[in-house]
A and B are shown apart, each in its own frame.
Chain A
Amino acid sequence: MKVLKITKEDLAKGLDTLNKSFRLIGPVKDKDEEFHNFEELGQGELPDFNFRNTRLSPKSIVYPQSEKMFEYTLDSNDPEHDILIEVKKEPSPQVVVGIRPCDAKAFSLVKLNFDTPEYKDPYWLRRFEATTLLGLACHNPCSSCFCASAGSGPFNTESLDMLLVEEQGGYLAQVLTKKGEELAHTAGWTDEAGSDAQKQIDTMKEAAEKRIKSQISTDNLKNKLDMEIYEEPYWEDVSFSCINCGTCTYLCPTCWCFDVQDETCGNCGIRMRNWDSCMYPLFSLHGSGHNPRGEKLHRVRQRFMHKLKYYVDKYDSGIQCVGCGRCVNHCPVNIDIRRVCELMNRSEVCPVTTE
């Protein structure tokens, strides 16, 4: 693997060049708020790397919250009336600059859902194909980050095409894929770093990993029976405070559920999909009025079982969580997945008391 040396100036210059042929997306500080989010960068606009992580995950770059799937007309004079027509638009090539390794890893977890042997989700896959991920290693993980024990890490390279590692005066850049190579080439980043660059990166990686204070244990999840965890008495305690909002699922980089809706205006309309959340009662409500997950306990349990047990069993690819800590920090009522994971992973259950 090639390691490049990129000065701050060269990074800015390269991004400027990339902005001419790619949609460039990077972390930007919201002008009224205290947080960063991924936004499309205008010509000459640079990403703001002075952030821990963005408030919203970058999943929407590949999987928008609302997305058009088909168009139709109801005008009976149109020979194709009432027939859904595919919107044949190739997504434009885009580069996500400064994506954190945890959020990049999330794409590989989510891909297992959208790219199956039987069915391929063309919207997600096309956009993912058109996306190049230029990551930014985390030197200063948050106190609530638990990526290292969730199968990711501050320097994890999964799903990334290139990883920038900030060092004095500039960056060391690991070129990880063919896409990454092409990106570096287009941007004009060609200076190869010295032979000890990889060693340097490894040292910084180790230091960053040591700074991660928060961790979860997942070793027992696979061996336990799903029904055994499902029937545990602690779910009432875990779910009591939940208000059934969609914050955890919408902020989560690995939550993928969606709803399909038709919206008509006059004679024309679209079929679209919108993010949905298993926290909402409507998510599982039958037409008859029966709801298999009618209680909030059922829904909270579903979310954690999905992430930490069903996914584990189904794909044998670890948990459906990258430890980004967004749900931990922004759950309005402080339901903490780390605490729930501890309960689920526990070999013998005893009541939790926090004092």
Chain B
Amino acid sequence: MHNPYLPYPVRISDIITETEDRNLKTFEYVFINPEDEEKFDYQPGQFAELSIAGKGEIPIGIASSPVEKGFLKFTVNKVGLVSTHLHNMKVGDVMGVRGPLGNWYPWDKMEGKNVVIIGGGFAFTTLRSSIVYMLANREKFKEIHVIYGARTPGMLLYVDELKEWEKRDDIHMHITVDATDDPDWKYNTGFVPTITDQKAPPATTDTYAIVCGPPIMIKFTQPVLDKLKYKHDHIIMSLENRMKCGIGICGHCNIGRHLVCKDGPVFTLDQLNKMPKEY
């Protein structure tokens, strides 16, 4: 019997400190057993459990994209026991990855449609995965907008890639920071909801918005999307809850009858409206 709790052994192949506060690092992994990579067949929006022997597991969104081969990437915020330990690990260290887990952004539904990505802070990880995926399959999508904000320029994730995407004409990038005194800052200044109001395309039946960010950003972005007449079944969100097993068995992450780990983490706003606010 396959054991769904058993992580694939991986080796850390690269570590990048992403933000100026050094609390966010991106870890790149390679599978120790090459055949495991094939089994780890994932979609943008899914997550995995990062496993450290002796410390435990943490559920983290997959930041790499299925179109990138040979490695997995996760950007981890230093908050608890496992993530703090992980931040002290080095290239070459061995740990585990278990997954892919959960559902993903509705790529089948979004095919041939406009996609507006709205992200804030460190919740940009699976959105990066999605952007890389869409750009590699550019012909499958109509207009792509990305609104991404952080507190300061130094808190933006994946800065080099953001700059590359800025240069392209097949993706509308709207990078913003809450505030900055950097005279060379050439992008937007303002909170994500404000920039959304200014830059997001108006709603059509052919336009989906994927929204990921801190609760405060979500709270103020939602009325903007309502104002722009986005239908709630066209607004897609990704949730977090305390999780243990990641496969819908241990019972930790439920919201009503749904388990965030297995029935989510991706839900439409329409679905969330009918669920208890237990997240």
| Extra pairs beyond A226-B256, A227-B276 (18, CB < 8 Å) | A72-B54, A74-B53, A83-B96, A86-B3, A113-B251, A116-B248, A122-B3, A226-B257, A227-B274, A256-B249, A258-B250, A258-B251, A260-B57, A278-B251, A284-B241, A287-B83, A292-B279, A310-B256
> 1/0 contact trace for B37-68 toward A, CB 8 Å?
00000000000000111111110000000000
Contacts of A207 in B (CB 8 A): none
B1-14 interface bits toward A, Cβ cutoff 8 Å, 1 = contact, 0 = none: 11111110100000
Q: Is B240 at the interface (CB under 8 A from chain A)?
A: yes
Cross-chain contact B2 with A120 (CB below 8 angstroms): yes
A118/B247 contact (C-beta < 8 A), A82-B93, A83-B94 known: yes
Contact residue among B3, B51, B242 (Cβ-Cβ distance under 8 Å from A284): B242
Q: Does the CB pair B96–A259 fall under 8 Å?
A: no
- Once A116-B248, A121-B249 are accepted as A-B contacts, the answer to whether A262 and B55 lie under 8 Å apart by CB is yes
In whole angstroms, what is the CA distance A292 to B95 when docked? 30
Task: List 24 interface pairs A-B (beta carbons < 8 Å), by A numbering.
Answer: A74-B54, A81-B94, A82-B52, A82-B93, A84-B51, A120-B2, A121-B249, A122-B2, A227-B275, A230-B256, A257-B251, A258-B245, A260-B5, A260-B244, A260-B245, A264-B54, A276-B244, A287-B83, A292-B279, A293-B278, A298-B278, A302-B254, A306-B254, A309-B257
Within B71-98, the residues touching A (CB, 8 Å) are 79-80, 83, 93-96
Q: List residues of chain A with CB within 8 A of the CB of B7.
A: 84
Given contacts A84-B7, A260-B56, A286-B242, contact A310 B96 (CB under 8 A): no
Residue picked from B51, B249, B262, B274, most chain A C-beta under 10 Å: B249
Cβ contact within 8 Å between B4 and A292? no
Q: Nearest-CB distance from B268 to chain A (Å)?
A: 17
Q: Is the pair B248, A72 in contact by a Cβ cutoff of 8 Å?
A: no
Q: Is A62 an interface residue (CB 8 A)?
A: no
Decide yes or no whether A114 CB sits under 8 A from chain B.
Answer: yes
| B252 interface residue per 8 A CB criterion | yes
Query: How large, as a class, is the contact surface on chain B?
Result: 35 or more
Least Cβ–Cβ distance between B31 and chain A, in angstroms: 12
- Shortest CB-to-CB span from A119 to chain B, Å, is 4
Residue pair B9, A83 in contact (C-beta under 8 Å) = yes
A119 touches B94 (CB 8 A): no
Pick the residue among A119, A285, A288, A292 that contacts B247 (CB under 8 A): A119
- CB neighbours (8 Å) of A298 from chain B are 278
In chain A, positions 82-112 with a C-beta closer than 8 Å to chain B are: 82-84, 86
Could you tell me the distance between the alpha carbons of A82 and B53 in the complex, rounded to whole angstroms? 5
A27-50 CB contact bits vs B (8 Å, 1 = yes)?
Answer: 000000000000000000000000
Give the contacts of A40-87 with B (CB-CB under 8 A): 69-70, 72, 74, 81-84, 86
Main secondary structure of the interface of B (DSSP, over half): loop
B24–chain A nearest beta-carbon distance, Å: 14
Q: Give me the 7 closest cross-chain CB pairs, A-B, nearest first.
A: A257-B251, A72-B53, A310-B257, A287-B79, A82-B94, A287-B80, A292-B278
Tell me, rounded to whole Å, the shortest Cβ–Cβ distance linking A327 to chain B.
Answer: 17
CB-CB under 8 A from A84, the residues of chain B are 6-7, 9, 51, 53, 96
A82 touches B1 (CB 8 A): no
A86 touches B251 (CB 8 A): no
Interchain nearest-CB distance for B42 vs A (Å)? 15
Contact residues of B between 158 and 208, Cβ < 8 Å to A: none
Provide the B201-232 mask, 1 if CB < 8 A to any CB of A, else 0.
00000000000000000000000000000000
Contact partner, A313, options B241, B249, B257, Cβ 8 Å: B257
Q: Which residues of the other chain, A, contact B247 by a CB distance below 8 angstroms?
A: 118-119
Are the C-beta atoms of B96 and A260 separated by less than 8 Å? no
Given contacts A227-B276, A292-B278, contact A284 B252 (CB under 8 A): yes
Please measure, in the bound complex, the distance between the C-alpha atom of A69 and the C-alpha atom of B252, giving whole angstroms.
18
Q: How far is B136's CA from A120's CA once the two chains are assembled, in angstroms? A: 35
Q: Is A217 an interface residue (CB 8 A)?
A: no
Q: How far is it, in angstroms, between the C-alpha of A293 and the C-alpha of B252 when the chains are bound?
A: 11
> What is the chain B residue whose CB lies nearest that of A282?
B242
Complex Cα distance, B6 from A131, in Å, reads 24
Cβ contacts under 8 Å, B93 to chain A:
82
Alpha-carbon distance A262/B51, docked complex (angstroms): 10
Asked whether any CB of chain B lies closer than 8 Å to the CB of A220, the reply is no
